[in-house]
Structure 1
Amino acid sequence: MSPRDTTRRLQALAAAAITVAALVAVAPSAEAAHPGAPCTTPQLEPGWYGDNQARLQQLIDRYGRCNPYRPARARPVAVFDWDNTVVKNDVGDATMFWLLRNSRIRQPARGDWSTTSRFLTPAAAKALADACGALARPGTPLPTGTPAGAGCADEINAVYGTAATRTAAAAFAGWDRRTMEPGYAWLPQLMQGWTAREIRGFAAAARTENLAAPVGATQQVGTGRATGWVRYYDQQKDLIKSLRKAGFDVWISSASPQPVVEVWAEGVGIDADHVIGIRNTTTRGGVYTPRLQGCGSVRDGADTMITYIDGKRCWINKEIYGVRGPDAEKVQPAARRQVFAAGDSDTDVSFLRDATALRLVVNRNKNELMCRAYDNSDGKWIVNPMFIEPKKQKTGPYPCSTTGYVDHDGTPGPVRRDDTGVVPDQADTVY
């Protein structure tokens, strides 16, 4: 072939390639040409109470990308609490116990335990200093995993787990009961001095141990025993998988520390950028401080707005919908709210109420939550027993009309509907 013929052939091939590329660019894809053809609505596995599986399937059928098939539409949002909603037991507890057993909690600055929480009482600060003060220099790890540090481990665990010292003195005071739980917040605050990467390593080690331990196992923490196992709920794993497959934007909102929940959420396919946990402020080098990030009108370091009751609403509005400032603390228009939410405790009440289509409650006998779920004034609540070791039926009614609600200052009162009507006492019927 002559050089001229070769050149002409190459030019022809190039022209043909350009033509094919142009046709591909303008031609409708098989998916677009036959809407619905490649779209299969996932079907939930069995294992749910009553008609809950059918109600959840209706949610997927209605809001999933196949009905109608519109791949470019905004994805419906689903938000799950984590501890005792997606898993049995508490991953924050599992991490705390691991930290104590492995001597990973640091002596606070100047040995002053009041620097770890603005809500810690003088009695608790003194009890912690007495138990732990002589064991390590400020900023260095306390030997809580050794016999010499067992008393320190016991005092920390008492304050964390019971909100009281070992002598029964109140450990915390002065917090807003609708935006903060100081015991929950204290765990990430005790992670000061570590980086998020290091904490993820601690959480991963705790996760491995707790998943490997048999159901019902306990572990030695200080001189006492503590829960030593965690399990994912198969039904919730399947629900999350099905929602994601159907095109839902699935998030986790938890009152456990951010890096801890990130590690556990990997087990259900949720990436770190879709996890909202308690978040610390950090130094320029990425080291955790005992101060917490704020939300809404609460500035960073004020430590008064974590992912707890109304605080969960604020953080969801901020992180998922981009609402900033005081508006993040308010109920948003329906178009800027999750269509589905799942939770198990009073800490989840506000973001569950915000869900516009369906609200799944895992029954752990929590007063305000069960009052609202059983009242079911708008027909959007469904209740399921715990999937592992479910609670027995509550023997008496929930005190909805008298003390089921806890106000900002801790005062108990009646649970009220949106129209301010009082919710009557409710019987426990799903167990």
Structure 2
Amino acid sequence: MNFKKKTRIAIVLLALFALLLPSLSLADTAPKTLQAVFSEMQLVINGQESTKITPIVYKDRTYLPVRYFSEKLGYKVDWDETTSTIFVTSTPEEISKNIPIMDTGKWAPATLNRLQKFIDENGIKSPNYDPKHKPYAVFDWDQTCIFNDTQEELFRYQIKNLVFNMTPEEFATAIRYDVPKDDFSSEYNNLEGQPVNIEKIGADLDERYKFLYDNYIFLKDKDAAKLAKIQETEEFKDFQAKLAYLYEAIGGTFSANVSYPWVLYLFTGMTTQEAQALTEESNDVALGEKIEYYTLTSSSKLPGKAGVVTGEYKRGLRIAPEMSNLMNVLRGNGIDVYICSASLEDVVEVFAGLPKYGYNVPPENVIGMRLEKDTDGKFKTEYKKDYPQTQQEGKTAAIQQILVSKYGYGPAFVAGDSQGDYNMATDFEETQLVLIINRVRKLSDKITILAQKAIESLNDPNAKYVLQGRNENYGLFIPQESTIRYGNKEAELIRSN
């Protein structure tokens, strides 16, 4: 807006508030009279000269009709004669200008189009949108919203940096908690082909932890030099390799009900604040690391009862900007966003919530695994009572317990990548769209059932299941449904076995 006049003009008009507020209600309780003169000044609104209106000048102030000025700027004006109230509101056209749409990014085109269609049909653009009956979306976190697993990366970072708040006795309890005494699966035999179980490897880890506790963990004046020195010992090398191996062996032998909470018990003795500070450190280091696999082998000089064991592990994390954009666009369209993860709730809150990572999910919208705490607010070696493990069927149970009880209905949208997400993707009749991050899982993984349905409905504008591919060598999306698995150069849509 520009008034072409050499002297400065102060404009006082009711419509100005319409630029600042979505709606405006102004009432005049009593009629007023004033003496004014018509001005001969020129009026230009948004670069367009107006000749149909003559401003009124009163005591060096310029007045314009509310309706004329507001409607020129795209606002609707209504008058309530009974209350002498002027209502100035944004028009649908003006509102739509401020509603975000998805960035193209590296989405598979058909997947992008289906997602945008879902948003348009369910968000505030839709004539059927009801803010009192808001749709909501539920995302898995690890390998869905990010590349790789924040909990597993943290687990190995914790080991490498020896960040534990347990006494040797507490550590011994934590690593054995709820773990069956049976031998691990044969693929986890030691390098001599002998079976390993929790009693054998537990005894070795007890000894190593006691050494590390006395010589570093329990010290009050720890520093980088002392950490580097302890990391050179055979005791540390054996401890690091065997504890990392133990997590894999438990997960590869026993049910998820055993392995998923087991890794969390290593936070015993920490407060939420301590665990979250450690998580942020781990995230930031991993985001700067190369995506690769590496091997840890236990000490041949200290074979102990378990013998020498070895394992291969993933390194590195990546933010998925397409997923953070999707979350932000959903919120901008009036669709609530939640996370339901099999990682510790407090851990996911860090990555999902800190502004520097871009996802902007508030902590109250993160649903994850939980531990009991003592009277000092420190984690205990005990899973939260009367609360489901948020993996597989437990994700559905947690959504029902927390979200369905709040909204009265299930999620309209679900995103996941693995068998652990199958139940929440299929258990709610209200779910209209399921996004599957294509990890080219084995046919035995139940998420492959949904991937196959997505393949069968490729380019269907109303598909219920859609796929998104990645290049696992770099941890980034690629604009297709197929995925390039780590170490490969060719993309695959689905496996044959």
Q: Shared fold by TM > 0.5?
A: yes
Task: Classify 1:44/1:19 alpha carbon distance in 2 versus 1 (closer, same or farther; 3 Å).
Answer: closer
Partners of 2:316 and 2:289 in 1: CA distance: 6
User: Cα distance 1:226–1:21, how it changes in 2: closer, same or farther (>3 A)?
Assistant: farther
Q: Separation in 2 of the partners of 1:394 and 1:58?
A: 24
Matched, 1:363 2:438: yes
**Structure-1 separation of matches of 2:84 and 2:257:** 55
Question: Which digits, 9 at most, give the CA deviation of each residue in 1:171-216, with x for residues without a partner?
Answer: x54x4xxxx4422221211211111110001100001101122343
- The answer as to 2:321 corresponding to 1:262 is no
Kept in 2: contact 1:110–1:138 (CA 8 A): no
Q: Within 2, Cα distance between the matches of 1:121 and 1:239?
A: 45
Q: Pairwise mapping of residues 155-174 of structure 1 onto structure 2 (< 5 A)?
A: 155-163=242-250, 173=254
Q: 1:245 to 1:52 in 2, by over 3 A?
A: same
Partner of 2:141: 82
Is 1:340 matched with 2:413? yes
Q: Distance in 1 between matches of 2:287 and 2:297?
A: 18
Instruction: Name whichever of 42-51 and 67-76 sits farther off.
Output: 67-76
The answer (yes or no) to whether the contact 1:95–1:203 under 8 Å persists in 2 is: yes
**371-380 vs 138-147, greater mean Cα deviation:** 138-147
Question: What is the SS of the residue equivalent to 1:134?
Answer: helix
Check if 1:94 corresponds to 2:153.
yes
Letter in 1 for 2:139: F
How far off is 1:161 after superposition? 2.3
Opposite residue 53 of structure 1, the aligned amino acid is L
Task: Measure how far apart 1:254 and its partner are.
Answer: 0.9
Q: In structure 1, list runs of 5 or more residues that go unmatched.
A: 1-17, 165-169, 324-333, 399-431
Between the aligned partners of 1:102 and 1:51, the Cα distance in structure 2 is 44
The answer to whether the 8 A contact 1:101-1:221 is kept is: no
Q: 1:136: Cα distance to partner?
A: 4.5
Question: Is contact 2:176-2:198 (8 Å) kept?
Answer: no
2:372 to 268, 278, 281: 281
Q: Report the more deviating stretch, 348-357 or 63-72.
A: 63-72
Q: CA deviation at 1:72?
A: 3.2
Q: Which has the higher strand share?
A: 2
Q: Shift of the alpha carbon at 1:138?
A: 12
Residue 95 of structure 2 aligns to a residue whose secondary structure is coil
Verify the 8 A CA contact 1:101 1:222 in the aligned structure 2. no
Equivalent position of 1:44 in the other structure? 102
- Identical positions, percent: 20
**How does the TM-score come out when normalised to structure 2?**
0.62
Q: Contact between 2:395 and 2:424, CA under 8 Å: does it hold in 1?
A: yes
Q: Is the 8 Å Cα contact of residues 114 and 125 (structure 1) preserved in structure 2? A: no
- 2: distance between equivalents of 1:75 and 1:139? 53
Amino acid aligned to 1:393:
E
Q: Give 2:327's match in structure 1, choosing from 240, 246, 259.
A: 240
Indicate which of 132, 147, 163 corresponds to 1:73. Answer: 132
Aligned match of 1:196: 272
Q: 442, 446, 470: which is aligned to 1:386?
A: 470
Describe the shift of the 1:70–1:111 C-alpha distance in structure 2 as closer, same or farther (beyond 3 A).
Answer: closer
Q: 1:153 aligns with which of 236, 240, 243?
A: 240
| 1:86-142 Cα distance to aligned partner (Å, 9 max, x none) | 111111111011100111243564664477531343653323332222244599659
Corresponding residue for 1:54?
A: 113
Paired letter, 2:351: W
Native 8 Å contact 1:262 1:275 kept in 2:
yes
Number of aligned pairs? 350
Q: Say whether the 8 Å CA contact 1:107–1:138 is kept in structure 2.
A: no
Check 1:25–1:190 CA distance in 2 against 1; reply closer, same or farther (3 A cut): farther
Whether the 8 Å contact between 2:287 and 2:318 is mirrored in structure 1 is: yes
What is the CA–CA distance in structure 1 between the aligned matches of 2:205 and 2:366, rounded to whole Å? Answer: 34
Spell out, residue by residue over 1:23-66, the C-alpha distance to the aligned partner (whole angstroms, 9 max, x if none).
Answer: 999754514xx345323442212222241111000001001112
Give the Å deviation of 1:237. Answer: 1.5
Q: Does the 8 Å CA contact 2:438/2:468 hold for their aligned counterparts?
A: yes
The answer to whether the 8 A contact 1:116-1:190 is kept is no
Partners of 2:210 and 2:288 lie apart in 1 by: 35
Cα distance in 2 between the residues matched to 1:25 and 1:145: 78
Quote the offset at 1:220 in angstroms: 7.2
Q: For 2:289 and 2:84, how far apart are their aligned partners in 1?
A: 55
Verify the 8 A CA contact 2:146 2:319 in the aligned structure 1.
yes
User: Which segment drifts farther, 379-388 or 285-294?
Assistant: 379-388
- Aligned-residue CA RMSD (Å): 3.5
Counterpart in the other structure of 1:413 = none
